[in-house]
Amino acid sequence: MNRFESAAVHVAGLRMAYGEHTVLDGIDFDVAPGEVVALLGPNGAGKTTTVEIVEGFRHRDAGDVTVLGTDPEHGDDAWRARIGVVLQSWRDHRRWRVRELLGQLADTYRPYATDRSARPRDVDDLLARVGLTDAADQRMSTLSGGQRRRLDVAVGLVGRPDLLVLDEPTAGLDPAARREFHELVHEVVDRDGTVVLLTTHDLTEAETVADRILLLAGGRIVAAGSPAAVAREVAGPSEVRWSADGARHVHSTHDPVAFTRQLLATVRVDDLEVVRASLEDAYLDIVRRHEAAAADRDLEVTR
Ligand SMILES: Nc1ncnc2c1ncn2[C@@H]1O[C@H](COP(=O)(O)OP(=O)(O)OP(=O)(O)O)[C@@H](O)[C@H]1O
């Protein structure tokens, strides 16, 4: 079996435009079994568009997409039952009570249980896991924003999916709930081997939760790899500042350790400071550069 046949998600040459506005300008990525992959990018980068195409909710203009062995545009109910979806927001069913809604959804997954995957998940167990036991009998309209988000995640998990797609899952959660959510993702991956594709514009979240980051900007994936590898790729230079003989100096370098070692070996330094580039700043910088390049490309096309 080659790499693409074994990938849970395979995307190649994906293109999408809304009218004149090109959002995805040829993106390629795979998500392997057992992986948590974060699609990271600023507002409007095309993250939701990408996951909606993966989920089969949106037609693409061009490119190959295979999800759990099937083109999402041709996925049947059995295929859909293997995918858990957490949308950015949905506001239906406000009059339903929490346990009632999950119970109804759980029933729709029952026909799709397999020897390998006991579907659905036990609803009370799931409510406990997402911290909603006490709210189980509340109507959805009375939930707080954070409780609502936890319910969204429970909805995505109730069918014990092989692939869980989360669109900005922690938007609106406080730091404690955010951490609990990250733990939940790790647990689901470790226990059930669920593959997770999530979107976020929060670099720290991507680093915390993902095995691999895909940085989307200007319609393209501009950096990809482990959080550490992407951090290296996007990290800017550090500044070494020192004073010697009453004069102040500053030098910008990608290897502050080597520079400092050489400096101390050759100069009598009175004072020394190394200021590392903030990863967040570097991330914003790379995004700005790629968005500017994309705007230039758009301009070329309209000329
Ligand atoms: N149905 C649509 N019709 C027209 N334009 C759209 C539509 N959906 C999205 N867009 C535009 O496409 C671009 C990408 O949107 P998308 O929601 O995929 O980005 P995103 O990275 O998920 O952004 P955010 O972080 O804000 O959720 C945006 O400029 C958006 O305004």
Domain assignments of the chain as residue spans, ordered by start: 3-231, 236-302
| CB atoms closer than 10 angstroms to residue 233 | 15
Query: Predicted ipTM?
Result: 0.96
pLDDT in tens, 184-228: 888 888 888 899 999 998 888 888 899 999 999 889 998 898 877
Mean pLDDT of 132-161: 90
Residues having CB closer than 6 A to ligand 1 are 18, 23, 41, 43-49, 201
Residue with the nearest Cα to atom 17 of ligand 1? 48
Rounded CA separation 297/119 (Å): 48
What pLDDT score does 303 carry?
64
**Is a pLDDT exceeding 60 seen at residue 41?**
yes
Q: Indicate the top mutation candidate among 14, 15, 47 to test ligand 1's pocket, ranked by most ligand atoms within 8 A of CB.
A: 47
What is the side-by-side strand order in the sheet with 62-67? 21-31, 9-18, 62-67
Mean pLDDT of 73-98: 83
Q: What contacts 24+ positions apart, CB below 8 Å, involve 15-23?
A: 15/60, 15/61, 15/62, 15/63, 16/46, 16/49, 16/53, 16/58, 16/60, 16/61, 17/61, 20/302, 22/219, 22/294, 22/298, 23/49, 23/219
pLDDT in tens, 272-288: 999 876 667 667 777 77
CATH of domain 3-231: 3.40.50.300
Q: Where is average pLDDT lowest: 41-50, 70-79, 191-200, 281-290?
A: 281-290
Largest CA distance in the chain: 80
**Centroid of ligand 1 to alpha carbon of 52 (angstroms):** 11
Structure tokens at 297: 């490309």
**Is a pLDDT exceeding 60 seen at residue 47?**
yes
2: confidence class by pLDDT, cuts 50, 70, 90: very low
Mean pLDDT of 170-185: 85
Residue with the nearest Cα to atom 24 of ligand 1? 43
